[in-house]
């Protein structure tokens, strides 16, 4: 019967629980032990609504909220599986809800199904039993698709498991409770109660069993050292090492000792100290899971692990653990365009959060920067071509090339003035003689006739034009 499973867990298991939950859980344990409640006390005449095989939220039908399905094959493609871990965590299913074994199996089934692209774990738990806890935490830490923890209350055993989410932790509002990372044992000494009932406990151990329950006996007697050394410290070290691994590089180094001492923190403090990544709503957690799934798909992988845990844990933006999305930043979610005023307001929030080297810009500003980038590319090409030409000319700068030109020009003018340096050239033009002639043609002919050899020829009958 279900109640027997619960009773067995209470009687036989160790629990990692936040203190206030212990106080509310103890009366139930006492009532079970004293027989004040029994299996019949949990009977209900009304038939309970059957639990769906899986729960998911689909982007195109997000307004409908989380929907229960009878099978993963019925879930629309591209959906985010939603897993709720509520109340005291127990390994097996009880009247209070599903145990971590069943939830873990559902996570693995959803992770392997093609219709599911990511997970969101909704945590509303003060912690619970250590039985099956490490296995459950391993299931979450090893999902192949993004897993985002949405923490409304994620304490003790809950933080052990939930901190392994590869998509980070969204702190569920200003009243969210996270922490209680530590180990403590509480048990009841019924000696006085039994004495009133006339019962005298008798304890006998085997001769060789000198340490059988010795640590508990010592604790009842007032010596707590043995139980600390044998039980609490080893279990606590496993707990702390798991958290350190899950939140590697995220916990505030100055606060780490306090963070791992069992303190519980509320709301924004969890973002500042690194136990959480960003303050947000359930819808923010779903949006983040879808974003990480899209990034993994764009990268050509089917595994969230390929994006690397450090990248996925940067849900607080730019690796700043103390950045909370303000009204101006949230107003930009799902917007296709951003006005100059909206960009200015959002950038003011980034500046206030200490973010440097990043800013929101409008589409017009982006286009302008793109055009300037193209101009810069052209200019760089021109500069490169100029540098190549200078190198071919044997100089390193335009100024050096200009000086070289001026030096050559000065040398040319200098040599042009030296004797014999004047150049000659043909002056004949088309239709003209290359022999210089004076303006009086008859005078020129007379000078030719007066030449001695011409006069000798004048008397020669061969040239006179007269023949005998």
Give 202-217 pLDDT, tens digit per residue: 888 888 888 888 887 8
How confident is the model at residue 265, as a pLDDT? 95
Tokens standing for 324? 């909370």
pLDDT at 367 > cutoff 60: yes
| Tens digit of each residue's pLDDT (9 = 90 or more) over 45-80 | 445 556 788 999 988 877 788 899 999 999 999 999
Question: CA–CA separation, 468 vs 465, rounded Å?
Answer: 10
Contacts of 337 (CB under 8 A, 6+ apart): 362, 363
pLDDT of residue 445: 74
Question: In angstroms, what CA-CA distances link 153 with 85, 124, 159, 229?
Answer: 10, 5, 9, 30
- Return the SS3 of 150: strand
Where exactly are the structural domains of the chain? 2-292
Express each pLDDT in 25-49 by its tens digit.
666 666 766 666 665 555 444 455 5
- What would the CATH number be for the domain defined by 2-292? 3.90.226.10
- DSSP, residue by residue, 371-424: HHHHHHHHHHHHHHHHHHHHHHTT-SSHHHHHHHHHHHHHHHHHHHTSTT----
Count CB atoms within 10 A of the CB of residue 206. 7
pLDDT tens digits, 305-332? 433 333 444 444 444 444 455 667 666 6
Q: Which residues contact 320 (CB under 8 A, 6 or more apart)?
A: 353, 354, 355
In sequence order, the β-bridge partners of residue 153 are 124, 177
* Tens digit of each residue's pLDDT (9 = 90 or more) over 215-227: 878 888 888 898 8
pLDDT of 232 above 50: yes
Alpha-carbon 425 to chain mean position: 81
Residue 237 has pLDDT above 70, yes or no: yes
Question: Between residues 467 and 114, which one has the greater pLDDT?
Answer: 114
Read off the pLDDT of residues 391-434 as tens digits, 9 standing for 90 and up: 887 878 878 878 878 887 887 777 777 766 555 555 555 666 55
- The answer to which of 97-106, 192-201, 305-314, 350-359 has the lowest mean pLDDT is 305-314
CA–CA separation, 359 vs 318, rounded Å? 11
Higher pLDDT, 150 or 412: 150
Q: What is the pLDDT of residue 37?
A: 65
- pLDDT at residue 84 greater than cutoff 90: yes
Say how many C-beta atoms besides its own lie within 10 A of residue 400's C-beta: 13
% of the chain exceeding 70 in pLDDT: 71
Residue position matching structure tokens 């508990």: 216
Is the alpha carbon torsion for 239, 241, 247, 250 positive or negative?
positive
Interval 158-182 mean pLDDT: 94
Lowest mean pLDDT across 30-34, 181-185, 258-262, 337-341: 30-34
Q: Give the pLDDT confidence score for residue 334 in this predicted structure.
A: 58
User: What pLDDT does 349 receive?
Assistant: 77
């Amino acid at each position: 019967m279900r109640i027997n499973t619960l009773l067995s867990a209470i009687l036989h298991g160790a629990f990692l629980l936040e203190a206030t939950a212990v106080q509310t859980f103890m009366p139930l344990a006492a009532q079970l032990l004293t027989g004040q409640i029994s299996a019949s006390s949990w009977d209900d005449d009304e038939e309970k609504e059957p639990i769906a095989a899986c729960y998911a939220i689909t982007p195109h039908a997000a307004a409908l909220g989380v929907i229960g399905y009878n099978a993963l094959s019925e879930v629309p493609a591209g959906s985010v599986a939603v897993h709720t871990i509520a109340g005291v965590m127990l390994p097996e299913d009880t009247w209070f809800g599903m145990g971590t074994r069943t939830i873990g199996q559902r996570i693995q089934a959803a992770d392997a199904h093609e219709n599911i692209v990511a997970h969101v774990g909704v945590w509303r738990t003060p912690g619970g039993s250590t039985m099956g806890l490490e296995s459950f935490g391993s299931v979450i830490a090893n999902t192949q698709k993004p897993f985002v923890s949405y923490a409304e209350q994620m304490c003790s055993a809950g933080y052990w498991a939930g901190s392994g989410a590869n998509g980070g932790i969204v702190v569920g509002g200003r009243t969210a409770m996270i922490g209680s990372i530590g180990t403590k044992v509480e048990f009841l000494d019924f000696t006085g109660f039994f004495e009133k009932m006339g019962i005298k406990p008798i304890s006998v151990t085997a001769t060789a069993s000198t340490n059988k329950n010795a640590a508990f006996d010592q604790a009842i007697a007032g010596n707590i050292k043995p139980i600390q050394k044998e039980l609490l410290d080893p279990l606590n070290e496993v707990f702390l090492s798991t958290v350190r691994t899950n939140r590697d590089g995220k916990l505030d180094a100055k606060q780490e000792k306090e963070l791992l001492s069992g303190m519980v923190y509320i709301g924004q403090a969890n973002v500042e100290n690194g136990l959480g990544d960003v303050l947000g709503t359930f819808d923010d957690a779903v949006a983040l899971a879808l974003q990480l799934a899209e990034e993994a798909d764009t990268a050509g992988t089917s595994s969230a692990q390929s994006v690397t845990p450090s990248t996925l844990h940067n849900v607080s933006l730019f690796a700043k653990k103390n950045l909370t999305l303000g009204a101006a930043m949230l107003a930009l979610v799902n917007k296709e365009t951003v006005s100059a005023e909206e960009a200015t307001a959002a950038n003011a929030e980034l500046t206030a959060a200490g973010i440097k080297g990043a800013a929101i810009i409008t589409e017009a500003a982006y286009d302008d920067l793109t055009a300037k980038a193209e101009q810069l590319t052209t200019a760089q090409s021109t500069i490169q071509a100029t540098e190549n030409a200078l190198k071919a000319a044997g100089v390193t700068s335009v100024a050096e090339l200009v000086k070289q030109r001026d030096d050559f020009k000065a040398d040319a003018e200098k040599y042009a003035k030296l004797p014999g340096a004047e150049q000659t050239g043909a002056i004949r033009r088309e239709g003209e003689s290359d022999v210089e002639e004076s303006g009086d043609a008859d005078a020129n002919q007379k000078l030719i006739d007066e030449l001695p050899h011409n006069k000798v020829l004048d008397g020669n009958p061969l040239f006179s034009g007269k023949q005998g």
